[in-house]
Amino acid sequence: MAKDSNTLIDALVADLAPVRPLRGWDGALRVALAAALTLAVVLGSFGLAAPVRAGTMSAMFLLANGLLLLLGLAAGASTILQASPRVGNRHDGPRWAMSMAAVFPFATLVLLALHRTEAAHLIAADTAWHCLAVSLVASLLIGGVLLAWLRRGAPVSPAAAGLHLGVAATALGTAIYGLSCPADSLYHLGIWHALPVIAGALAGRCFIPRLLRW
Amino acid sequence: MIADEQSLSRLMAAAQTGDRQAYGALLAEARRWLQRYLARKVPPGQIDDLVQEVLVSLHAKRASYDPARPFLPWLAAIARYRWVDHLRRTYRREEVELGDHDAIQESDADAVMARISLDRLFMSLPRAQAEAIELVKIEGHSIAEAAARCNQSEPLVKVNIHRGLKKLAALIEKAD
Domain-wise residue ranges, chain B: 5-170
CA distances from A83 to A93, A145, A214, B62 (A): 16, 12, 12, 11
Among B20, B57, B64, the residue with its CB nearest the CB of A13 is B20
Among B20, B27, B173, the residue with its CB nearest the CB of A156 is B173
Instruction: Name the nearest CA neighbour of A104 among A3, A185, A11, A13.
Output: A185
pLDDT over threshold 90, residue A144: yes
Q: Give the burial string for B45-63 (b: 16+ CB within 10 Å, else e).
A: ebbbebbbbbbbbbbebbb
pLDDT over threshold 50, residue B113: yes
B31–A89 C-beta distance less than 8 A: no
Query: Which residues in chain B are closer than 8 Å to A150, comparing Cβ atoms?
Result: none
Q: Where are the alpha helices (DSSP H) in chain B?
A: 5-16, 20-37, 44-60, 72-89, 109-123, 127-133, 143-150, 154-170
Rounded Cα distance between A154 and B77, Å, is 9
For B56, name the nearest residue in chain A, comparing CA atoms only: A12
CA distances from A116 to A60, A106, A125, B150 (A): 20, 15, 15, 55
A1–B52 C-beta distance less than 8 A: yes
Q: How far is C-alpha B122 from the chain's CA centre? A: 11
Check if B26 contacts A (Cβ < 8 Å). Answer: no
B88-104 pLDDT, tens digit per residue, is 876 544 444 444 334 44
Query: Which residues in chain A are closer than 8 Å to B69, comparing Cβ atoms?
Result: 84, 86
How many interchain CB pairs under 8 A, A with B?
Answer: 119
Query: Which residues in chain A are closer than 8 Å to B49, comparing Cβ atoms?
Result: 1
- Name residues whose C-beta falls within 8 Å of residue A32's C-beta, 6 or more positions apart in sequence: none
Between positions 59 and 118 of B, the ones with CB within 8 A of A are 59-70, 73-74, 76-78, 80-81, 117
Q: For residues B172 and B80, is the Cβ–Cβ distance under 8 A?
A: yes
Check if A121 contacts B (Cβ < 8 Å). Answer: no
- In the prediction, which pLDDT does B72 show? 93
Domain ranges of chain A: 22-212
Mean pLDDT of chain A: 91
Rounded Cα distance between B107 and A113, Å, is 64
Rounded Cα distance between A137 and A131, Å, is 10
Phi-psi region of A84 (alpha: psi -120 to 50; beta: other; left: phi over 0): beta
pTM comes to: 0.84
Find the mean pLDDT for residues B11-39: 94
- In the prediction, which pLDDT does B166 show? 86
Find the mean pLDDT for residues B136-156: 86
- In the prediction, which pLDDT does A122 show? 66
A24–B59 C-beta distance less than 8 A: no
Rounded Cα distance between B176 and B168, Å, is 13
- In the prediction, which pLDDT does A187 show? 84
Check if A92 contacts B (Cβ < 8 Å). Answer: no
- In the prediction, which pLDDT does B1 show? 56
Among A18, A83, A154, the residue with its CB nearest the CB of B18 is A18
- Name residues whose C-beta falls within 8 Å of residue B81's C-beta, 6 or more positions apart in sequence: A85, A154, A156, B57, B172
- Helical pair A158-178 and A93-114, crossing angle rounded to 10 deg: 50
Among A10, A21, A152, the residue with its CB nearest the CB of B65 is A21
Q: How far is C-alpha A138 from the chain's CA centre? A: 10
Q: For residues A91 and A161, is the Cβ–Cβ distance under 8 A?
A: no
Q: For residues A103 and A164, is the Cβ–Cβ distance under 8 A?
A: no
Check if B47 contacts A (Cβ < 8 Å). Answer: no
Q: For residues B125 and B167, is the Cβ–Cβ distance under 8 A?
A: yes
Instruction: Name the nearest CA neighbour of A132 among A162, A96, A91, A177.
Output: A177
B60-69 pLDDT, tens digit per residue, is 999 999 999 9
Rounded Cα distance between B76 and B79, Å, is 5
B16–A18 C-beta distance less than 8 A: yes
CA distances from A82 to A119, A175, B55, B170 (A): 40, 23, 20, 12
A23–B78 C-beta distance less than 8 A: no
